[in-house]
Structures are given as C-alpha cells and as structure tokens.
Amino acid sequence: MAANATTRPSEEDFKLLKERCQMIFDADPSQYHNDASLHRFHKAFLGVDETFQAVLKCNKWRREFGVANLSPEDPDILEELQTMKALILSRRDARERPIIYIAVKKHNANDRDLDKLTKFIVYLLETACRKCNEEIIDNICVVFDMKDFTMQCMDYQFVKTLIWLLSKYFPERLGVCLIINAPMLFYGCWTVIQPWLNEKTASKVVFVNDDQALSEYLCPDALPHDL
C-alpha cells in the first residue's frame, strides 16, 4: 500500500510498529532498520501490519542479496563503474541531496546482464543513501541525462526493476528525479513508463529543458560534460 498526498501515519501507530520491530531487532542485532528508516517505511506503507511485513521482507532481501557486502571491489560492480554510465557526483543538489547521475546514451538494452546491472544500481542507491545527512534531508536526487538517446538505450525491464527497488526496499528515498536533454523520441517511452508509477512517485519526476530550469534543482556545472 502506498501513501497518498493527504494520508499521514500517526505517531501512535509508529510507536506500535517500533515495539513490534524491536522484538525482531533484539533477537537479531544485525537487522538493518533504525528509527529514521522505520519512519520512511511507515510513511510509504502506512498501516502497522503492512509496514511491519514490508520491513521484514526488506531485511530478508538485504540479507539474501548481500547488500552489506556490495563494494567497488566486486567484479560485477567494477565492470559497470568502468562504463561510466552511472555515478554518484561529488557535489550535491540545491537541497543537499546526493546525486546519482545516469548517462543514458552509454546504456544498450540489448547488451547488458540484468542481474549485474541490478547489483550495480543497488550499490549506487545504498552508497548514495549512506551519504545523506538524515538530520537535514534523507532522500536523494537522480538525474537521467537523455542526451543522444536512441531506442537501443530504452530498457523497460530495467526501469521496472528500478521502480521495484525504490518502492519496496528504498521507500521514500527518492526526493526528485530529473530528466534532462530529453528528445521527442523519449516522450513516447514516457507514456509507457508513467502508468507504472504511483501518483506520489510520478510527481517527483521533473523534465528539465534548460540550464535555467535545472539551476532550481542543482548547479548545472555539477554535471559531467565529458561523458
């Protein structure tokens, strides 16, 4: 269940959720979630039962996927890093969010291993989230640079995977998704993608057409111009 714009979880429900989770965490101190994480899950899933189940499923997935052990030394991740198709920028956006930058032209949907790519994007999401200063802001900025986009770059299965990861395992971590330099060709693809997003997530996707509009979100000079 996804939260809508008008529904907010209550503090009483959160207290109950935390008590239920604490029994699990006491039994296994390696569990991932802290108060901030539980608040994000509670905001996304609302009901105590729904949130509790989502937390358990997330912990199970993190353990089985080996999220804690992902690193640049992993051969699959290193291979993807070397393509420079996606990276975490050294500078942050206007709200101090870490930025994941994706150069879409460097991706070929017909020449990729989805399992390796999924491992890579989980590594990027996990690394970017760790860079958040949760006392200031606890979400991230994702930039899709559509310069020189062709239909070979369009990877619907990967987009579905990314949406799944963000909604189930990184809820409320996406602050804004900027789509820059989008050609007319991509707008047809967007009509396919948009219905896969709930209303709240879709509202975070912003098409940016020039540097003036981009500067409302981040300094244009923060983006790489040589990829």
For residue 6, being part of any structural domain is answered with: no
Nearest CA to 193 out of 17, 93, 201 is that of 201
For residue 73, being part of any structural domain is answered with: no
What CATH number corresponds to the domain at position 160?
A: 3.40.525.10
Q: Are residues 63 and 118 in the same domain?
A: no
Number of folded domains in the chain?
Answer: 2
Quick check: 28 pLDDT over 90?
Answer: no
Q: Are residues 191 and 88 in the same domain?
A: yes
Q: Are residues 203 and 122 in the same domain?
A: yes
Q: Is 99 helix (H, G, I), strand (E, B) or coil?
A: strand
Q: Are residues 96 and 196 in the same domain?
A: yes
For residue 175, being part of any structural domain is answered with: yes
Q: Are residues 161 and 119 in the same domain?
A: yes
Q: What is the pTM of this model?
A: 0.90
pLDDT grade for 226, boundaries at 50, 70 and 90: confident
For residue 214, being part of any structural domain is answered with: yes
For residue 4, being part of any structural domain is answered with: no
For residue 3, being part of any structural domain is answered with: no
Q: Are residues 29 and 82 in the same domain?
A: no
For residue 141, being part of any structural domain is answered with: yes
Whole-number mean pLDDT of the chain?
A: 91
User: 135-169 b/e with 16+ CB inside 10 Å = b?
Assistant: eebbbbbbbbbbeebeeebbbeebbebbbebbbeb
Domain boundary among 47, 68, 89: 68
Rounded to 5°, the CA angle 78-98-168 comes to 75
What's the domain range around 30?
11-68
Question: For 94-106, what is each residue's pLDDT tens digit?
Answer: 999 999 999 999 9
